[in-house]
Amino acid sequence: MLLVLLNLAVFVVLMLLLGRLAGRGQSLSRQVLTGLLFGVAAGFIMQNLYDANTIARTLEWVNMVGTGYVRLLQMIVIPLVLISILGAVSRMHNATSLGKISALSLGILLGTTAISALVGVFVTHSFGLNAADLVQGARELARAELLESQVASVANLSVPQLVVSFIPQNPFADMTGASPTAVIGVVIFAVFLGLATLTLLKDEPELGRRVIGGIEALQALVMRLVRLVMKLTPYGVMALMTKVIAGSNLQDVLSLGGFLLASYLAIAIMFVIHGLLLTFVGVNAKRFFTKVWPVLAFAFTSRSSAATIPLNVQAQTQKLGVPESIANFSASFGATIGQNGCAGIYPAMLAVMIAPTMGIDVLDPLWLATLVGVITLASFGVAGVGGGATFAALIVLPIMGMPVALAALLISIEPLIDMARTALNVNGSMTAGTITSKLLGQTDNATFLKDENLSDEELQDLGLKNETDLQNNNQAANSL
């Protein structure tokens, strides 16, 4: 018990140090980075100095901070999505803009998911990974039995059924967040409420203006709530990272090192592809990643795309210059549909590992096209059944005529891989929002360039003639 108290005392001191950084006016990004480093250091020390029992008892208390922060974020997800999308739609002039935003956002998410599946295939094939090489222990066998029992719940789902399941029967039930499709259900409800507000504004202008005034007041209130919770991000990141590092088993990592390395390489390649897509539409990829990395750090430690929605929206609107309407759509859709890491790379890697044991040539064009098509469509299914990467595998593998037991053999390193997959999922949604905004000509360059030092060539590329123009843009951004 004395060692647990000592560990907690050190943890409290680290939290106080983070608090002092905030008091000195350090930026949130720097605070998040410091919290991340503190968490890595604390977890590494615990892993090497204490036995499993002491670590478990310490983490039980540390989890109060990490899990508590994630729950606070989950608390504000539904109100934020509902009010933000309602406000965004009610301020649109027509439904055409809404259709363009939705189509572009979904198209980019699904397109990058197809690309991520191909990346997963070729990386896994290059590493020569094979399901026959993995060893099954008692824990893996128990997990395999559980997955086999869950296959029945998703095996009979069709794409039309999944699409229909998104439409909320009871929007108030979806607002509880209990349903796997809760976020999409709330988005659809908010869109229809927004469209109803537009028709009300047209038919009864005075009443419509009063409704819009109420929406704006609620939106201001929710955003204040979001800012309050965001201030706790460094503490949450530190606690979550402490748990990840202290709870990792080095032997498990080494035994499945090939799959872990291949997964991270595939994920890194997809980050590069995101950067290339951004560059192709005229967005400075380096500046993009500099601005969004605190969001990626939280996604990495929390392993929750949905919980990252508030940070995702805030980064797009306040750092990247993406309008609220596009930011909210891309963040909401990206948390449930077209997840590049969980729904793209992961099931593709499992399929390629199983294929040789069944005499399948993974480079056969027809089989490859079928796999990519199934994975892309199944990315809708992940939202329909909930559960992220594992459930993506439960949908894809049976359709391809493959057993699902392989997913159970990777349980020991699943958290380590899931962290990077979640960060990729979130980056995919921010990339979709940024590209959509750029293609529609709605990006606020002043916000994107705010507080940045640009070279003369970059100024010319961005259409800014000189530093005076840049300063004027920054002043405009500061006045927003």
What mean pLDDT, rounded, does the chain reach?
A: 80
Whether 131 has a pLDDT exceeding 70, the answer reads yes
Per-residue confidence band for 98, with pLDDT thresholds at 50, 70 and 90: confident
> How far apart, in Å, are the Cα atoms of 387 and each of 383, 384, 390, 450?
8, 9, 6, 38
What pLDDT is stored for residue 288 in this prediction?
Answer: 95
Q: Among 76, 61, 430, 385, which residue's Cα sits nearest to residue 218?
A: 76
Per-residue confidence (pLDDT) for residue 369, from 0 to 100: 93
Which one has a higher pLDDT value, 315 or 245? 315
Is 147 within the bounds of a domain?
Answer: yes
**Residue 47 included in any domain:** yes
Residue 317 falls inside a structural domain: yes
Look up the pTM and report it. Answer: 0.77
Confidence check: pLDDT of 459 > 50: no
Return the CATH number at 92. Answer: 1.10.3860.10
- Give the count of domains, the chain: 1
- Predicted local confidence at residue 474, as pLDDT: 41
**Residue 115 pLDDT level (bands cut at 50, 70, 90):** very high
**Does residue 456 sit within a domain?**
no
Report the candidate in 9, 146, 205, 174 with the shortest Cα–Cα distance to residue 78: 174
Q: Is the pLDDT of residue 91 over 90?
A: no
pLDDT value of residue 105: 92
Query: Residue 68 in contact with residue 238, Cβ under 8 Å?
Result: no
Looking at per-residue confidence, does 467 or 404 come out higher? 404
pLDDT band of residue 368 (cuts 50, 70, 90) is very high
- pLDDT number for residue 345: 93
pLDDT band for position 265 (50/70/90)?
Answer: very high
CA separation, residue 157 to residues 178, 252, 378, 384 (Å): 20, 34, 10, 9
Q: pLDDT tens, 39-61?
A: 888 888 888 888 888 888 888 88
pLDDT for residue 463 is more than 50 = no
388 versus 2: the higher-pLDDT residue is 2
CA–CA dist 138, 150 (Å, integer): 19
Whether the CB-CB separation of 347 and 377 falls below 8 Å is answered with: no
Q: What is the pLDDT of residues 15-40, one digit of tens each?
A: 888 888 777 777 777 888 888 889 88
* pLDDT more than 90, % of the chain: 23
Per-residue model confidence (pLDDT) at position 136:
53
Of the given ranges (61-70, 162-171, 371-380, 452-461), which has the lowest mean pLDDT? 452-461
Confidence band for 2, pLDDT divided at 50, 70 and 90: confident
- Is residue 253 pLDDT above 70, yes or no? no
Find all residues with CB under 8 Å of 76, minimum gap 6, and list them. Answer: 222, 225, 226, 229, 310
For residue 134, name the pLDDT band (cuts at 50, 70, 90).
low
pLDDT tens, position by position, 294-337: 899 888 888 888 888 888 998 999 999 999 889 988 988 888 78
pLDDT band at 411 (very low <50, low <70, confident <90, very high): low
Q: How confident is the model at residue 181 (pLDDT cuts 50, 70, 90)?
A: low
Band (pLDDT 50/70/90 cuts) for residue 289 is: very high
Residue 261 lies in a domain: yes
pLDDT (0 to 100) of residue 109: 93
Report the C-alpha gap between 397 and 346 in whole angstroms: 11
Span 440-466, average pLDDT: 63
Q: Looking at residue 136, what DSSP letter applies?
A: P
Please determine, for residue 113, whether its predicted confidence score (pLDDT) is greater than 60: yes
Torsion sign over Cα 419, 421, 424, 429: negative
Q: What is the pLDDT of residue 145?
A: 53
Q: Is the model's pLDDT at 341 over the cut of 60?
A: yes
**Does some domain include residue 478?**
no
Residue 451 domain-assigned (yes or no): no
pLDDT value of residue 412:
62
Range of the domain at 228: 2-443
